[in-house]
Amino acid sequence: MKRLLIAFAFLAAFSKSNAQEAKKPWAQLIKDEFEFAGKQYKFLAKNIPEGKTPQSFKDGKPINYDIKWWCSGFYSGTLWNIYEQTRDESIKQEAENALKVIEPNQTFTGNHDLGFMMYCSFGNAYRLTNKPEYKSVILRSAESLSTRYRPSIKSIQSWNKNKYWNCPVIIDNMMNLEMLTWASENGGDKKYKEIAITHANTTLANHFRPDFSSYHVVDYDLETGKVKKKATWQGAADCSSWSRGQSWALYGYTLMYRFTKDQKYLKQAKGIAHFILNHPNLPADKIPFWDFDAQGIPFAKRDASAGAIIASALLELGQYTAKEEKKEFIKAAETMLQSLASPDYRAKLGENGGFLLMHSTGAYPMNSEIDVPLIYADYYYLEALARYKKWYL
């Protein structure tokens, strides 16, 4: 009974702070958040060694990684999102410098993460500047990513063969299809979009359960194309619903509907959204626990990054839905953004290593990046705020 009372008090505290934050008009909240982000990222920029990209902050120390790390494009992408809203030229200069650091990744073929690395960065840069050299990098990156397509499994192989997996495809891979489809529609080889569609269809067939939840990893036999096993790497169990995995699935099928207008993708995206929003373990502030089936709920760690990704995806999905369903998606995204903007999740100026959001979870089973800031949480948080301003104000 004591644990239950503590849990209710914990959730009530979240609800109270969110209600207070909700009193601020949306236009003012968004303006304030981007101005804060500009100041905070100038602080963050001081702690990045040459040739590295920022990832997190723990125990008072910044964590930076090599450019081949899958998150290397989010720093520049976040800076471009800040620049778009603030027009701060010093932020733009830092964004351009960050692009130079990761530009060699355009020929990288070591894994499937080229979309994260190069489209979140150079894609935003090209969108805001129309510089042809940025477009060239995107097209070259799409070609590199296409080399990981395996005709026998009709999918893009995520990781190379190792002692755990033969030919793994992870749900995260849906996010990298945006770069491929965009590239085909903007002067690149038509095969890129064909690969993206084929991959999305294969994932639709093999990654999902009847309730629209997704497995994290599907391992294939590269020779026969048959599924060897369905499992997890970062989730609580093979049969669980890893929260960020569900967010990648929601975002991925929403963007595929944007490019193709294929109704099966819209149906899938809506099904995933309803699974997330109607799940009994989704907290009142709508920021998920790190896994919907995590042990110890409601005391399990949260994942602010999953909340930010879901919010951004729901705001786009709202553009393709109507009436009560649209209201449901937008209202949920509003709650998520109000939660993330509250002191429960958003850091104070000069703290948190310069990152915006607290309380994300990277890979709980590996005891990695637990209850820390993560660069991609900031990226999708700002993207969601910008989308809300563009579409709903």
Catalytic positions, written as ranges:
113, 172
User: 149-150 and 155-156: which strand pairing?
Assistant: antiparallel
Q: Bin 284: left if φ > 0, else alpha if -120 < ψ < 50, else beta.
A: alpha
Task: State the angle between helix axes of 89-102 and 26-45 in degrees (0 to 180), rounded to the nearest 10.
Answer: 60
Q: How far is CA 320 from CA 181, 383, 386, in A?
A: 19, 18, 18
Q: How far is CA 138 from the centre of its chain?
A: 19
Give the Cα separation of 152 and 222 in Å (integer): 6
- The partner residues of 149 in beta bridges, in order of sequence, read 156
Angle at 332 (CA atoms; ends 317, 274), nearest 5 degrees:
60
Q: Tokens for 226, please give them.
A: 């048959």
Q: Cβ atoms within 10 A of the Cβ of 325, count?
A: 15
176: CB partners within 8 A, 6+ apart: 112, 113, 114, 115, 116, 119, 145, 156
Q: Which residues, in sequence order, are CB contacts of 230 under 8 Å at separation 6+?
A: 206, 207, 215, 217, 218, 219, 238
Cα of first residue to Cα of last residue in the chain, in angstroms, is: 44
Q: Give me the DSSP letters along 264-315.
A: HHHHHHHHHHHHHHT-TTS-TT---BSBTT-TTTTSSPB-HHHHHHHHHHHH
What are the structure tokens assigned to 290, written together? 């790190």
Reading the block at residue 94, the tokens are: 């830092």
Helix axis angle, 263-277 to 323-341, nearest 10°: 50
